[in-house]
A and B are shown apart, each in its own frame.
Chain A
Amino acid sequence: MGILIDRGTRILVQGLTGRQGNFQAERMQAYGAKIVAGVTPGKGGTQSLGVDVFDSVAEAVATEEVDATIIFVPAPFAADAMLEAASAKVPLIVCITEHVPVHDMIRVREYVKMQGCRLLGPNCPGLITPGESKIGIMPNHVFQPGGTGIVSRSGTLTYEVAFALTNSGIGQSTVVGIGGDPIKGLDFVDILELFNSDPETKNIVMIGEIGGTDEQRAAEYAREHVKKPLFGLVAGVTAPPGRRMGHAGAIVSGGAATSAAAKIDVLKECGFLVAVHPEQIAELLTA
C-alpha cells in the first residue's frame, strides 16, 4: 500500500508525446503504473503508448478519472503546466522538470494549496510504491516492496540508499523524492506525517543535504509526532561554505545552520540514527 500512490492510482502524463515524457512513461507502464491519458497541446485526438492524448488537462479529466499527473514539459512551460493541473484539481501533481524559476514556484505553490491539491517537486525524481506503481524516473530494479519509507532531497543518492536496502533484504513501502529546489511542494514534514500514519511503513529513512533548514524542522516535527524508528543521511559534510553544490538549494549560506554538520547534530538530538554513507543505512537498519 504505502503512501500517496498504489496500483490503482490513475495517472495522467503532461508531455506524453515528448522524447523524455514518452521514454519515462513507457518505463512507468512497464513497472505497472496505470497511465490513463496524456496531454500535449495540439496533439489532442491522437494516441500514444495505448492511451488517448488530449489538448489540455481540463479535457483529459473531463473524459478520464485522474488521481495524479506527472509533468515532463520543458522548464519555460513547467510552471504553467503545474497551474493547469491545479486548476483542473488533479489531487497529486508531480513535476520532474528542473530549472523552474523560483518566483514562478512561489506563486504555483500558493495556487496549488488554494486548489486543495498536492505538489511533489519540481526538480524531483518522483515517487514509487515498490511492486505497485511508479510516478517518476527512478530505475525500476533497485526497489523492492517492504516496510521502510524513504524521503529524500536528492535523486541518485536515493537510488543508492534504496539499492543498499534492497541488497540487504530490506524492502520499501514508498520512496519519495521531494526535489532539490529551494521552493517546492511537499516537504520532509508532509511526507513524515504520511509515513507516520501509514500502517505498512515500519521505519523511516530521511535523506537530506546542505542548504536551508528543512531537515531541522522535519527532525523537530519527528521528535514530537513520529513514533517509528528514524534513520538519516545528510550529504555535504565536506562541502565548502558559499558554493552551490549542483542543486539550486544546496548551498551553505546564511549561517552555520545550513551546513550538514549542524543538520546531523539536530537529527541525532531528535532521535535519528545517522549514517555517514548510503550503505551504512542498511547496516543501521539491520543492526
Chain B
Amino acid sequence: MDLFEFQTKEQFRQAGLVVPDGDVATTPEETAELAAEFGPEVAVKAQVLVGGRMKAGGIRIVSSPEEAGRAAQEILGMDIKGHRVRKVLVESASVIAQEIYLAAMVDRTAQRLMLMASAAGGIDIEEVAATSPENIRKAHLHPLLGFRPYQGLQLAKELGLPVTLWSGFAQVCQKLFEVLTHNDADLAEINPLILNSQGEFIALDGKMSIDDNALPRQSRLFSLENEEEGNDLERKAKAVGLNFIHLGGNVACMGNGAGLAMATMDAIKYFGGNPANFLDIGGGATIKQVTQALEIMTGDPTVRSLLVNVSGGITRCDDVATGIAAALQQDHIEVPFVIRLVGTNEEEAREILAPYNVTFVRTFTEAAQSAVKLARGNA
C-alpha cells in the first residue's frame, strides 16, 4: 500500500526527521486558514498516489491566504493521470540551498536493505539511473546489523557534502532507515532532501510504500485505507476480495494462480485477441467468489468472450463449475464462455455445466484459440 505525501511526512516527523510545518485541507477555505497559519509563503500540494504532480500543475507556491485558497480551488478535484485530487497539503515554503535524493528500500537483487543517494535530487531518479548511473550511490545494510553510522558518513562524502554536514546527513540516513523498518516499508524515499540556508536537512517531499504482507502488524497504517484509484470494476472486485486488474481488451479471462492467469492473458494475445483483465482466483476461491468474478467480468462492455482456465489442485473444478453455473443462471449474461477445467473433480465439473451453452476444451492452446475466435464472432 502506498502512502500519501502527508502520511509519509507524519511517519518522518515521528522518527525525528525535519519536515516543513503544515497540514492537509479538503476545501479552499481550510487551505486559506492553513496558509494564514503557516505562511506568508506556502506550498499548496495535490495529494495523489502518482508522480508528475508538478508538471500537471498540482503544486503551487503562493504568498497569501487568498492566493492559497484560489490555488486550492484549482487543484482540488483536478485529475492527475487518472487520480482525482481530494486533499491538498499546505505547508511553509522553504528556501532551498541544495537538493539531494535519499531513499531506503528493499533491494531484490542483493536481497538486502539498501540506502540510495544522489546529489542530483529533486528530479526523476529513474532518469538519473538510466542516463548517469555513476551519480547514484548505494550502501547495502547487513541484515543482522542494520544501518551503521559509518555508512552514512561515507555516503555524505561520496555526495560531495562538506565535512561539517557529514554527521547530520548520517543521522538523516539513520532515521530514514528507522522509518523503513518500523513501518515495514518496501520504500521510504525523500526527494528532495533539501539543505536550507541554515544548513539544516529538511524532507521536502516523501513517498512510502508499505509491504502488504505486514498488514497484521501494521494495522495502524492499513487502517488509513488509501484507496487505490482504479475503475469501478476494480473497486467492485476488491470489495469481494478478488485480485483483478482491468486491461480493456475483448477476451475476459480467469485463472487460478498469478502465473497461470498471466500465461492465459499472454496466450490470448498470441492467438490474436486482447485480454480484458487479469484475474487470479487463487487457491482458496469460494463458489460465491467465482460467481462474483464472472459478474464483474461480464459487466465490462468491451468483453466479447470469456475464458475460464483452471488447473485444479487445491482448487476443485466442481466448485468452480458450481460458481459458473450460478452466474449463468442469471439471464443477462450473453457473452460466450470457453471453459477449461482440468485436474481435481474435472468430471463432476463437466456434469454440472452440461445443461449450459458453454464450450469445453482440454488444452491450453484450444482454450485461448476458441476464446479469441468466439470474441471475433461476437464482435
Judge: A and B partners, yes or no. yes
Interface centre among A152, A155, A156, A245 (most CB of B within 10 A): A156
The verdict on B332 contacting chain A, using a C-beta distance below 8 Å, is no
Tell me the complex Cα distance, A229–B212, Å.
Answer: 39
User: Contact: A238 with B247, CB < 8 Å?
Assistant: yes
A236 touching B314 in the complex, CB below 8 Å, given contacts A212-B108, A213-B109, A277-B364: no
Picked from A103, A156, A235, the residue with its CB within 8 Å of the CB of B184 is A103
A239 touching B255 in the complex, CB below 8 Å, given contacts A75-B213, A278-B263, A279-B363: no
Closest beta carbon of chain A to B185's beta carbon, Å = 9
Picked from A100, A163, A182, A235, the residue with its CB within 8 Å of the CB of B259 is A235
Number of interface residues of B (CB under 8 A): 55
Which residue of B has the minimal Cβ distance to A234? B266
- Determine the chain A residues whose CB is within 8 A of the CB of B181 once the complex forms: 103
User: Contact: B108 with A249, CB < 8 Å?
Assistant: yes
Size bracket of the A interface = 35 or more
Which residue of B has the minimal Cβ distance to A102? B211
- Determine the chain B residues whose CB is within 8 A of the CB of A137 once the complex forms: 313-314
User: Contact: A106 with B143, CB < 8 Å?
Assistant: yes
CB-CB contacts below 8 Å: B154-200 with A: 181, 184, 186
User: Contact: B260 with A160, CB < 8 Å?
Assistant: yes
A248 touching B365 in the complex, CB below 8 Å, given contacts A180-B259, A235-B266: no
The verdict on A207 contacting chain B, using a C-beta distance below 8 Å, is yes
- Determine the chain A residues whose CB is within 8 A of the CB of B221 once the complex forms: none
The stretch among A38-46, A50-58, A107-115, A220-228 that forms the contact with chain B is: A107-115
Tell me the complex Cα distance, A154–B259, Å.
Answer: 5
The verdict on B126 contacting chain A, using a C-beta distance below 8 Å, is yes
- Determine the chain B residues whose CB is within 8 A of the CB of A102 once the complex forms: 106, 184, 186, 211, 213-214
Taking beta carbons and an 8 Å cutoff, which residues of A are in contact with B? 75-76, 99-103, 106-107, 109-111, 137-139, 141-142, 152-160, 163-164, 180, 182-184, 207, 209-210, 212-214, 217, 233, 235-240, 243, 245-250, 254-255, 260, 276-280
Taking beta carbons and an 8 Å cutoff, which residues of B are in contact with A? 106, 108-109, 111-113, 126, 129-130, 142-144, 181, 184, 186, 211-214, 216-217, 243, 245, 247, 255-263, 265-270, 275, 278, 280, 282-283, 311-314, 342-344, 363-365, 368
